[in-house]
A and B are shown apart, each in its own frame.
Chain A
Amino acid sequence: MLSTIYILWLRQIKRYFRSKSRVFGSFGQPILFLVAFGFGPMYEKAAGGDYIQFLAPGIISMSILFSAIFSGIDMIWDKQFGFLKETLVAPVSRFSIIFGRTLGGATIAVFQGIVVLLLSMVVGFRPDNWALLPLAFVFALLIALFFAAFGTAIASKLDDMQGFHLIMSFLVMPIFFLAGSLFSLEGLPKAIEFITKINSLTYGIDGLRTALSGASNFSIYLDLGVLTFLTIAMFVIGAKLFAKIEI
């Protein structure tokens, strides 16, 4: 079981670091957001405090969200290039396959989050309390695990990449924008507020912001509890859907 998880994890890591375009491409968007919003007009509009302190945790979460969800959806390529069959006929449980794969995707996502944290420090971000960095790491990991599992669950149901743009516009972007990533959650219309409340990323960003900037909407225990619960639930759903794949 452990060796299976390890080898699937290793495969994800190897594939990522070998694809230079993927490594560098994944930092383009976070840098753009940091520069555009960090120095832009919103900087002045954001009343009360330093906008970059507010923004950086959101952008770090964004890079984790995108990277994790795509590493999961990446499984569609394994279906199309046939490699998935090699794992499906192997004498191992499907759970260990999906677990190793998801762990690999989450590791890459956390790595990207750390790089974006360093980049945001270049443009002026400073962690509020350095002692809370381990807590930030925990939230980064939970966000990564949740969305990697989410991506895998989606990929279990899809046959090809044609649905990709649909997922991008109607799922990934709303999840990102409606989670308090770029703006504060206060004073939103009721309907939007409701969506942010059921969005798991909201709790991830809030937790990350607590740890990195010392500002929050919810208590850290609520963030941690909700996100842990949702991550476990998503793993169960992902594993169930994956177990049902028939070729």
Chain B
Amino acid sequence: MKKIIKIEGLTKKFGNLVAVDNINLNVEKGKIFAFLGPNGAGKSTTIKMLTTLLSPTKGKISLNGYDVTNDKNEARKSFGIVFQDPSIDIELTALENMHFHAVLYKVEKSIRKEKTEELLKMVDLWDRKDDFIKNFSGGIKRRLEIARGLLHNPEILFLDEPTLGLDTQTRAYMWEYIKKMNKEKTITVFFTTHYLDEVEKIANDVAIIDKGKIISKGTVDEIKKENHTKSLEEAFLKLTGRKIREEGADKNNSMKIRVKK
């Protein structure tokens, strides 16, 4: 199997703090991969490095064969992303947001319309294509972002806590849809979540990160077996402890933007 995401010796330091500490990870093409860890473990920092938003202190990442540091734009074309919090323009309509994305990713004019319609229909938003995003609920925004993330036919879809704050119906619907995309178009899915029951149902492979290091990886069954537990949640708690983690408000939280000093 082709390794579509390759991470070698990836490290990120913020001053003295080592947020991500020399991690190695491969994801095979066509898999649904869950990247788990407690708050502040280094998940978001890793995703930001994978998606070119943050440059690594050390190490290498290749996406679809392209190095994210040297071949930035090719790497960027290879993935779609749904961030933890919305990243759509609320002053524009659904269709305008899709159009904006299509232009930025240079989706051919001839297929732009057709593709937009196909995707908006797939997430059940075609009827609301001319509505302004500010009138949308969180769940609808998330659906639109998934459609947008797939508009340029990416090989990889990154989902950073995609079901956070969504109701059960929307969650079920989203995973069904993501599974379908994964099957039909062999899109590799790389996601983070705190809902471990979702992981058991959906993910092929799992990696658990804590304090910047990968502490466990394998299939769900492998991880359960290794830790002699019945559920992934129990294994997760065994590995990472029961203590509640605090996440610094000014650190890797997605709302915040940092300027390189």
Residue ranges of A at the interface with B (Cβ–Cβ < 8 Å): 3-4, 6-7, 11, 14-15, 18-19, 79-92, 156-157, 159, 241, 244-247
- Which of A3, A86, A157 is B259 in contact with, Cβ under 8 Å? A157
Q: Given the known A-B contacts A85-B53, A247-B54, A247-B258, are A4 and B48 also in contact in the complex, defined by CB atoms under 8 Å?
A: no
**Is residue B215 contacting chain A, with contact meaning CB distance below 8 A?**
no
Q: Given the known A-B contacts A4-B104, A7-B104, A82-B86, are A245 and B259 also in contact in the complex, defined by CB atoms under 8 Å?
A: yes
Q: Given the known A-B contacts A14-B92, A247-B53, are A82 and B104 also in contact in the complex, defined by CB atoms under 8 Å?
A: no
* Residues 16-43 of chain B, each 1 if its beta carbon lies under 8 Å from chain A, else 0: 0000000000000000000000000000
Q: Give the CA-CA distance A19 to B132 in the complex, in Å.
A: 13
Chain A interface: which of B71-79, B203-211, B217-225? Answer: B71-79
The answer to whether A89 and B255 touch across the interface, beta carbons within 8 angstroms, is no
The answer to whether B100 and A7 touch across the interface, beta carbons within 8 angstroms, is yes
In the complex, how many angstroms separate the beta carbon of B89 from the nearest chain A beta carbon? Answer: 5
Q: Given the known A-B contacts A11-B92, A15-B91, are A91 and B105 also in contact in the complex, defined by CB atoms under 8 Å?
A: yes
**Is residue B83 contacting chain A, with contact meaning CB distance below 8 A?**
yes
**Is residue B90 contacting chain A, with contact meaning CB distance below 8 A?**
yes
Which residues of chain B (220-261) have a CB below 8 Å from chain A?
A: 254-260
> Which has the most chain A C-beta neighbours within 10 Å: B74, B83, B254, B259?
B259
Decide if the interface of chain A is mainly helix, strand, loop or mixed: helix
> Which has the most chain B C-beta neighbours within 10 Å: A6, A15, A81, A241?
A81
Set of chain B residues within 8 Å of A159, measured between Cβ atoms:
256-258
In the complex, how many angstroms separate the beta carbon of B73 from the nearest chain A beta carbon? Answer: 4
Which residues of chain B (93-139) have a CB below 8 Å from chain A?
A: 96, 99-101, 103-106
In the complex, how many angstroms separate the beta carbon of A73 from the nearest chain B beta carbon? Answer: 14
Q: Given the known A-B contacts A4-B104, A245-B257, are A89 and B53 also in contact in the complex, defined by CB atoms under 8 Å?
A: yes
- Which of A7, A11, A84, A91 is B73 in contact with, Cβ under 8 Å? A91
Q: Give the CA-CA distance A245 to B259 in the complex, in Å.
A: 5
Set of chain B residues within 8 Å of A85, measured between Cβ atoms:
53, 83, 87
Q: Given the known A-B contacts A90-B105, A91-B76, A247-B54, are A11 and B100 also in contact in the complex, defined by CB atoms under 8 Å?
A: yes
Q: Give the CA-CA distance A14 to B97 in the complex, in Å.
A: 12
**Is residue B57 contacting chain A, with contact meaning CB distance below 8 A?**
no
The answer to whether B85 and A82 touch across the interface, beta carbons within 8 angstroms, is yes
**Is residue B88 contacting chain A, with contact meaning CB distance below 8 A?**
yes
Set of chain A residues within 8 Å of B103, measured between Cβ atoms:
3-4, 6-7
The answer to whether A82 and B53 touch across the interface, beta carbons within 8 angstroms, is no
A241: nearest chain-B partner, CB-CB: B259
The answer to whether A82 and B76 touch across the interface, beta carbons within 8 angstroms, is no
